[in-house]
């Protein structure tokens, strides 16, 4: 039996004004405080039980636009908007299918959220899942639970993810979640509130550490390399 070190500690909350600032904050925490482990057989640096608390989630984020990999952003955008199966994930259903055509049954979960909150703005149960137990065998979606409510009248989104790669891809998850939150807010005619994302395993693959150090150095200095690199496609 091979023993693999798993990050412990937490929970911890990282508050940030924007999704780009949240990405930089959690990446810095991973590199500074994380433990070396392995995920899907690949070396990672990892922290556990972290919640990103983003005050002003906007998919048009300046930090992400500057430092993110455009191909990675496009890949994740397709995952959230294209209902075709995702070849890179072994033919698994996309997030778009899971959200807007659950189990390919015609059930639009996002429309259901909007209708539920329109009918009952005090609802605490406008909650949807990306799990499709009948077909999810080898691939389990990283973002698994999305919970919408209206504290103070604004649409707040609370997300749970079992693991997120904050080196090559976490920024793209944040962009698409912020866009989805904005979509729900528009459907309700409400302002956008906070985005909270709880992640059990927040990690950076070893192949992305140099890239993320450059991003962190550039973000702190206000200038730096904007080149990106591709990593794991999970999540």
pLDDT for res 144: 96
Under 8 Å between Cβ of 165 and 232: yes
pLDDT for res 3: 62
Residue closest to 107 by CA, chosen among 132, 89, 82? 132
Residue closest to 210 by CA, chosen among 218, 202, 201? 218
pLDDT for res 220: 78
Residue closest to 51 by CA, chosen among 33, 80, 25? 25
Q: What's the CA gap between 44 and 144, in Å, rounded?
A: 21
Residue closest to 50 by CA, chosen among 164, 133, 153? 164
* Structural tokens at position 234: 């999970």
Quick one: 9 exposed, middle or buried, by C-beta within 10 A (0-12, 13-18, 19+)? exposed
pTM for the whole thing? 0.91
Superfamily of domain 12-221: Thymidylate synthase/dCMP hydroxymethylase domain (3.30.572.10)
pLDDT for res 13: 97
List the pLDDT tens digit at each of the 235 positions of the chain: 556 777 777 789 999 999 999 999 999 999 999 999 999 899 999 999 999 999 999 999 999 999 999 999 999 999 999 999 888 888 899 999 999 999 999 999 999 999 999 999 999 999 999 999 999 988 899 999 999 999 999 999 999 999 999 998 999 999 999 999 999 999 999 999 999 999 999 999 999 999 999 999 998 776 443 444 333 444 4
pLDDT for res 168: 84
């Amino acid at each position: 039996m091979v023993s693999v070190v798993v990050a412990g500690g937490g929970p911890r909350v990282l508050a940030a004004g924007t999704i780009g600032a949240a990405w930089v904050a959690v990446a810095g925490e991973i590199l500074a405080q994380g433990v070396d482990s392995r995920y899907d057989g690949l070396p990672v640096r990892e922290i556990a039980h972290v919640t990103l608390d983003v005050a002003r989630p906007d998919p048009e984020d300046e930090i992400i636009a500057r430092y993110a990999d455009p191909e990675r952003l496009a890949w994740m955008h397709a995952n959230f908007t294209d209902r075709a199966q995702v070849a890179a994930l072994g033919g698994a259903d996309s997030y778009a299918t899971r959200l807007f055509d659950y189990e390919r049954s015609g059930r639009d979960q996002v429309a259901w959220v909007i209708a539920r909150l329109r009918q009952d703005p005090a609802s605490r149960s406008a909650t949807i899942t990306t799990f499709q137990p009948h077909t999810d065998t080898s691939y389990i979606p990283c973002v698994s639970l999305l919970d919408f409510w209206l504290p103070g009248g604004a649409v707040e989104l609370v997300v749970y993810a079992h693991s997120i790669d904050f080196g090559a891809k976490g920024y793209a998850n944040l962009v698409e979640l912020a866009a989805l939150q904005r979509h729900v807010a528009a459907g309700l005619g409400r302002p956008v509130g906070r985005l909270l994302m709880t992640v059990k395993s927040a990690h950076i693959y070893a192949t992305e550490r140099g890239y993320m150090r450059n991003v962190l150095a550039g973000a702190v200095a206000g200038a730096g390399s904007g080149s990106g690199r591709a990593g794991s496609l999970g999540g």
